[in-house]
């Protein structure tokens, strides 16, 4: 039997850690509420402080920060920038340990870009930026969850450990600074609290062997033996959906291993790690039998409340291009478990945060950086890229974000376009719409990610077909060129329905982008081609990227097939079998 004293310590430790996070989260929420009422002044003051503190850096001297005293002067003297403008400085910082090049704020971490080919970008991250992630990316999630339960249930957030999908793979620069996902440095600073907060031990969360171990097995095997899991969290919703899908496929093996108190012998891992993990496992026939009963009932009714009846909330970004995964996760959770969409962030900055449970738009953090906005309606008109500040924004309009962060990037274009959905006091509430470098344009039609997302969403409503994931490919080998839409349906479709589905998605694409429709009608573009890929194709792609060393926290949806590697992979998994037409 389990040691009751040890179990008590774990529960007491969990309660203490959760209470601490809730208290910190509430403090952050109050701070955000206060700052949001004076967001315009805070934003302006922050810009001047950044310029003053960095005036003697090499970059600051180059652009005369010392003599900039207003936003108007900043906009006039300092040009837009991209990563290539900083790369020579960053190289000197990493290789020669040079300081005061782009910032007086020394990097405490380097965030790596998520590119699957080429040399990853090294984005310097200051302590101030790390603190922002700790506040708005960790503590606030618990504060928001507690607020939700107090408002709806009249009591605070239930304690309990959570299934966290994060994986850390320790890496450092040659001068000893951590690099990789920002979450790795954040979590490492709270290593002592991890055993009391999440189900996986530190040796599973932080490992050099993540590319050879079946991490889905370990995460689900360890979490399923625990009946009181209180939350699930991942950077993005696909991370959690993949875990539930894994349970669905392998529950018999997992239940057998819980029954016997072991790690399945087919799971490859270092002998030392296996010994460590099995030392904490005991046979649990009761739990195994309970799980087996629920899994055998099927997944047509929500599975999560049946295996973890105390699960209180889900944390993971399910907005924008992740909406199909949020829909799928909702089928697993049922309608009563609230979702927290966490934050809107890029490698260069955590930009905004979800203020309430269920929010699909994010409150811009006024003291988290200085932000400018280029109206998206002017993005195709060179010379009309005049920037606005938060006081100039209008509800319903789309803008490209330009950021000046806390780590040494100035007027940096991250290529993200957001829509202003409203205001939280003086702070704009934004939602991600598309990335400018994910644009499709064979004949000048300029189809963006939002148009494709909307089309797929309407397609599912029109046809009743649930799409797990999707991508688009611009085929210019044929004449005329045309779009190829790849979809992964939740079941094998009937061959006789393929043309119906093709017409349905083409109709919606033509509505979403009239220029695309006009060019099809005039023969400038060929008809839309629809291809169904095999089930679990996108999960397999994510697994392969993780095996290649890409962090799960950085895996974005593959919306545009724009490299030979992606083309070879996805077109190699085209569905070649369909249900009988009868």
Phi, psi values for residue 419, rounded to 5°: -115, 135
Hey, what are 215's tokens? 């991490």
Per-residue pLDDT, 383: 59
Could you check whether the bond before residue 332 is cis, i.e. omega within 30 degrees of 0?
Answer: no
Hey, what are 157's tokens? 């957030």
Packing angle of the helix pair 323-333, 449-463 (nearest 10 deg) = 40
Which residue's structure tokens are 């189900």? 199
Neighbours of 396 (CB within 10 A): 8
Alpha helices per DSSP H over 83-236? 83-96, 127-134, 140-152, 182-188, 194-197, 202-205, 215-224
Per-residue pLDDT, 381: 59
User: Concatenated DSSP letters for 223-273?
Assistant: HHT-TT--EEEEEEHHHHHHHHHHHHHHHHHHHHHHHHTS--TTS---HHH
Burial (CB count within 10 angstroms: exposed 0-12, middle 13-18, buried 19+), residue 494? middle
Q: What length is written for the chain?
A: 582
Element at 546 (helix H, strand E): helix 537-547
Question: Are the C-beta atoms of residues 364 and 352 closer than 8 Å to each other?
Answer: yes
Per-residue pLDDT, 580: 57
| Whole-angstrom distance, CA of residue 79 vs CA of residue 291 | 59
Question: Are the C-beta atoms of residues 115 and 121 closer than 8 Å to each other?
Answer: yes
The whole-number mean pLDDT for each consecutive block of 10 residues of the chain, a chain of 582 residues, reads 49 90 96 96 97 98 97 96 96 94 95 62 94 91 96 92 85 88 82 89 80 86 95 93 95 97 92 92 96 96 97 94 93 96 92 96 96 84 78 96 96 95 97 87 91 95 95 92 95 92 97 94 95 93 84 82 92 76 50
The three-class DSSP label of residue 431 is strand
Question: Are the C-beta atoms of residues 121 and 347 closer than 8 Å to each other?
Answer: yes
Name 144's Cβ contacts closer than 8 Å, sequence gap at least 6: 25, 29, 340, 354, 355, 356, 357
| Whole-angstrom distance, CA of residue 145 vs CA of residue 330 | 17
Hey, what are 525's tokens? 């573009």
User: Concatenated DSSP letters for 285-343?
Assistant: HHHHHHHHHHHHT-SSS-SHHHH-TT--EEEEE-SGGGHHHHHHHHHHH-SSS-EE--E
| Whole-angstrom distance, CA of residue 354 vs CA of residue 32 | 11
Neighbours of 444 (CB within 10 A): 9
User: Concatenated DSSP letters for 440-461?
Assistant: B-SSS--B-HHHHHHHHHHHHH
| Whole-angstrom distance, CA of residue 60 vs CA of residue 47 | 13
The three-class DSSP label of residue 500 is helix
């Amino acid at each position: 039997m389990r040691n009751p004293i040890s179990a008590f310590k774990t529960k007491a430790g969990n309660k203490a850690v959760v209470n601490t996070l809730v208290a910190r989260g509430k403090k952050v929420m109050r701070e955000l509420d206060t700052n949001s009422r004076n967001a315009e002044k805070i934003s302006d003051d922050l810009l001047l402080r950044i310029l003053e503190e960095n005036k003697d850096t090499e970059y600051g001297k180059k652009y005369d920060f010392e003599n900039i005293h207003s936003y108007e002067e900043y906009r006039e003297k300092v040009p837009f920038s991209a990563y290539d403008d900083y790369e020579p400085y960053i190289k000197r910082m990493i290789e020669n340990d040079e300081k005061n090049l782009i910032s007086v704020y020394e990097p405490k971490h380097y965030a790596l870009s998520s590119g699957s080919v080429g040399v990853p970008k090294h984005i310097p991250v200051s302590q101030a930026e790390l603190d922002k992630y700790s506040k708005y990316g960790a503590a606030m999630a618990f504060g928001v969850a507690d607020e939700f339960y107090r408002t709806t249930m009249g009591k605070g957030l239930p304690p309990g450990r959570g299934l966290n999908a994060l994986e850390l793979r320790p890496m450092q620069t040659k001068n000893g600074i951590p690099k990789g996902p920002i979450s790795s440095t954040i979590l490492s600073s709270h290593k002592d609290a991890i055993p009391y907060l999440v189900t996986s031990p530190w040796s599973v969360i932080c490992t050099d062997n993540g590319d050879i171990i079946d991490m889905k097995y370990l995460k689900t095997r360890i979490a399923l033996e625990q009946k009181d899991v209180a939350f699930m969290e991942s950077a993005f919703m696909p991370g959690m959906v993949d875990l539930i899908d894994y349970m669905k496929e392998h529950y018999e093996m997992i239940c057998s291993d819980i029954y016997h108190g072991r790690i399945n012998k087919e799971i490859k891992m270092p002998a030392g790690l296996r010994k460590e993990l099995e030392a904490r496992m005991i046979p649990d026939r009761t739990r195994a039998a309970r799980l087996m009963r629920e899994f055998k009932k099927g997944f047509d009714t929500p599975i999560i409340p049946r295996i973890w009846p105390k699960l209180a909330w889900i944390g993971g970004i399910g907005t924008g291009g992740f909406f199909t995964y949020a829909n799928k996760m909702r089928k697993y959770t049922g309608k009563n478990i609230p979702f927290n969409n966490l934050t809107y962030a890029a490698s260069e900055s955590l930009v905004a945060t979800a203020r309430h449970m269920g929010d699909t738009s994010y409150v811009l953090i006024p003291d988290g950086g200085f932000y400018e906005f280029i109206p998206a309606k002017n993005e195709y008109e060179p010379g009309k890229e005049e920037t606005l500040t938060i006081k100039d924004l209008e509800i319903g309009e789309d803008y490209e974000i330009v950021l000046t962060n806390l780590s040494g990037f100035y007027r940096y274009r991250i290529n993200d376009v957001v829509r202003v959905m409203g205001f939280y006091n003086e702070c704009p509430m934004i939602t991600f719409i598309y990335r400018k470098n994910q644009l499709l344009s064979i004949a000048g039609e300029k189809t963006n990610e939002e148009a494709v997302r909307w089309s797929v969403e309407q397609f599912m409503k029109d046809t009743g077909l649930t799409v797990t994931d999707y991508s688009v490919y611009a085929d210019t080998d044929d004449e005329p060129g045309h779009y190829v839409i790849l979809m992964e349906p939740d079941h094998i479709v009937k061959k006789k329905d393929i043309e119906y589905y093709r017409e349905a998605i083409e109709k919606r694409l033509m509505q979403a982008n009239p220029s695309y429709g006009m060019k099809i009608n005039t023969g400038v573009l060929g008809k839309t081609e629809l291809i169904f890929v095999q089930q679990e194709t996108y999960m397999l792609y994510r697994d392969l990227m993780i095996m290649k060393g890409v962090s799960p926290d950085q895996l974005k949806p593959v919306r545009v097939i724009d490299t030979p590697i992606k083309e070879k992979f996805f077109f190699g998994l085209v569905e070649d079998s369909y249900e009988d037409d009868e």
